[in-house]
A and B are shown apart, each in its own frame.
Chain A
Amino acid sequence: MRRVLVGIKRVIDYNVRVRVRPDGNGIVTDGVKMSINPFDEIALEEALRIRERGEADEVVAVSLGPDDTQQQLRTALAMGADRAILVRTDLAVEPPVVARVMQKLVERESPIIVILGKQAIDDDCNQVGQMLAALWDRPQATCASKIEIKGQTARVTREVDAGLETIEVDLPAVFTADLRLNEPRYVKLPDIMKAKKKPLDVTDLAAIGVAPTERLKVLRYEPPPQRQKGVMVKDAAELVAALRQKGLV
């Protein structure tokens, strides 16, 4: 069985205006819409396309999070994942712990490919894929904008500062999805019904055998300083004059 593992993180929906709690102990989450991390949705879409092209047989969506994360995994199943695994924890786990959990799941599932989002839009860490690749001692292709499977290898185009970099990796490997890898499909109502019947295994950190070791203690959150709104100029001449006066042009 050629299997693709996809990481799914439950995050505050990207349309929500994120606010810091007045006590500085976190982010306002009461009544806030939660969704699949957008980069993970792209990762899942890519896994589905790989399967649909006949280059893999099964797509397994995996997540680490509280019980409610089952909602996001059901969405992943409705998008087309074959089955899902939730490793339950109420702790805010750090990327090294997530990478270790992923490593355990990799040992259990023996995938040919693991695809994750390049970063989560909550902590913006951009770490788990690379850490998993290191622990697994396998190739990584991060910030992927194109993935071509060619037998036992894959050719991946990556978005890098210089432009587009192409690398070739032996499978199994870890890929992380960038924005332009694909456009995720919409979920149709019949698929939501079908997804209810797909298997969703729930386990927990202890059963998986990973300790949620704290490495970074969060001391406080604060809102970022706001830039002061400047002045409106009436035309191009006034703008250029203002910039010239400040020595900017």
Chain B
Amino acid sequence: MNRILIVAEHAGGRLNAAIAKCVSCAATMPDGEITIAVLATDGAAVAQAAAAISGVTRVLLVDHPANEPALAAVLAPQVARLAEGHSHVLGPSTTFGKDLMPRVAALLDAAQVSDVMTVESAQRFRRLVYAGNAIVTVEAVGGRQIVATVRVASYQAAAAGGSAKVEAVKLDVALPAHTRFVSVTAARNDRPDLQTASRVVSGGRALGSAENFALIQRLADRIGAAIGASRAAVDAGYAPNELQVGQTGKIIAPELYIAIGISGAIQHLTGIKDARTIVAINKDAEAPIFEVADYGLVGDLFSLIPEIEKHL
């Protein structure tokens, strides 16, 4: 049997939507039993949300004052202890999971597979390399535990309706004091979340200024979309870093992705290749974004955005 432990990401008492996608990934492993570990300060609500994901057998809840806000150095030794008896330890390929899971893998002396997009067997996985220019199939050898991060854009969320039992666990693990949380910029809650939104409107360098980027916000609000940005737009200061879509930003899979004034560098395309429908608006008819767009519109964004709004 493959005993799979998934590390829950959560904030403000809410389970991150990426975890139900990790469950979907785990569920593709043969003969699996899925456990979710919730490391929190007061994690009862998060544990209940995890227990309600279909396919989950049990939830381990570790409440400790040091567990929030999450710090990889604090969580890793606890996850490594919980991992005893498990064949696989999974986390989402979010900044939380990318930070934590390799630290866990090193403590376990495990093999680590980053950004799993397909499970071929309990030991065999496919993942993207070279900024999405190649897919590699790897097989874990040597009988070690396997730590993996799950490329969440590759999976649909597992359904609700589960009723796993929640077990409170006390861990006797020394926690380091060498790493301390100071602050995090407050997340905006008045717009859909970029990583889970079904529609995303993104702006690029062609917007020209932070003021003009408001055009993207206006269109996004009009259709209930999340806002994204290209690396060029973030580098230029038109949009904050958390809106960056692409290889080093967020990798997303919305139903509708509208790229405005984005030329389509490979690093950006890697972040949107799983979008269902891609719309590109650009004044350069030769822009690479048109090679992947389902609908392309060549023209000046400053006149096209108001026109689109008129027809909506």
- A139-161: which have CB < 8 Å to B? 139-143, 145, 155, 158-161
Give every chain A residue within 8 A of B99 (Cβ-Cβ).
130, 140, 142-143
Our pick among A119, A137, A166 for the contact of B182 (Cβ within 8 Å) is: A166
Known: A133-B73, A143-B99, A179-B231. A164 touches B185 (CB 8 A): yes
The reply on B119 being an interface residue by CB < 8 A is no
The complex places the Cα of A140 from the Cα of B178 at a distance, in Å, of: 10
Contact A233 B128, beta carbon cutoff 8 Å: no
Q: How far is the CA of A221 from the CA of B99 in the complex (A)?
A: 26
- Which A residues are CB-close (under 8 A) to B307? 235-237
Taken together as a complex, chains A and B put the C-alpha atoms of A115 and B30 apart, in Å, by 40
Query: What residues of chain B lie closer than 8 Å to A132, measured between beta carbons?
Result: 106
**B76 contacts A134, CB within 8 Å?**
yes
Are A140 and B73 in contact, CB atoms less than 8 angstroms apart? yes
Given known contacts A124-B130, A240-B311, A248-B255, A215 and B141 CB-to-CB distance under 8 angstroms: yes
Residue of B nearest to A103 (CB): B106
Contacts of B297 in A (CB 8 A): 232-236, 239
- State which of B51-59, B207-215, B271-279 sits at the interface with chain A: B271-279
Q: Which residues of A contact B (CB under 8 A)?
A: 12, 17-20, 27, 94-96, 99, 118-119, 121-135, 137-143, 145, 155, 158-170, 173, 178-180, 213-224, 227, 229-237, 239-243, 246, 248-249
Question: C-beta contact mask, B3-31 vs A, less than 8 Å → 1, else 0?
Answer: 00000000100000000000000000000
Instruction: Flag if A169 contacts B179 (CB, 8 Å).
Output: yes
Q: Per-residue 0/1 for B107-129: is the Cβ within 8 Å of any A Cβ (1 yes, 0 no)?
A: 10111111100000000100011
20 contacting pairs across A/B (C-beta < 8 A): A127-B102, A130-B101, A131-B102, A134-B102, A139-B178, A141-B179, A161-B94, A165-B181, A170-B178, A179-B231, A179-B235, A215-B110, A215-B144, A216-B138, A219-B124, A221-B137, A224-B132, A224-B135, A227-B291, A243-B295
Interface-facing stretch out of B37-45, B81-89, B157-165, B242-250 = B242-250
> Cβ of B134: which chain A residues have Cβ within 8 Å of it?
18, 20, 27, 221-224
Bound-state CA distance A165–B176 (Å) is 19
Is A218 a contact of B136 with CB atoms below 8 Å? yes
When distances are taken between beta carbons in the complex, the residues of chain B under 8 Å from A223 are: 133-135
Q: Assess whether B304 is interfacial by the CB under 8 Å rule.
A: yes
B180–A169 contact, CB under 8 A? yes
B103 adjacent to A130 (CB under 8 Å): yes
Q: Which residue of A lies closest to B132 (CB)?
A: A224
- The CA of A94 and the CA of B96, in the complex, are separated in Å by 22
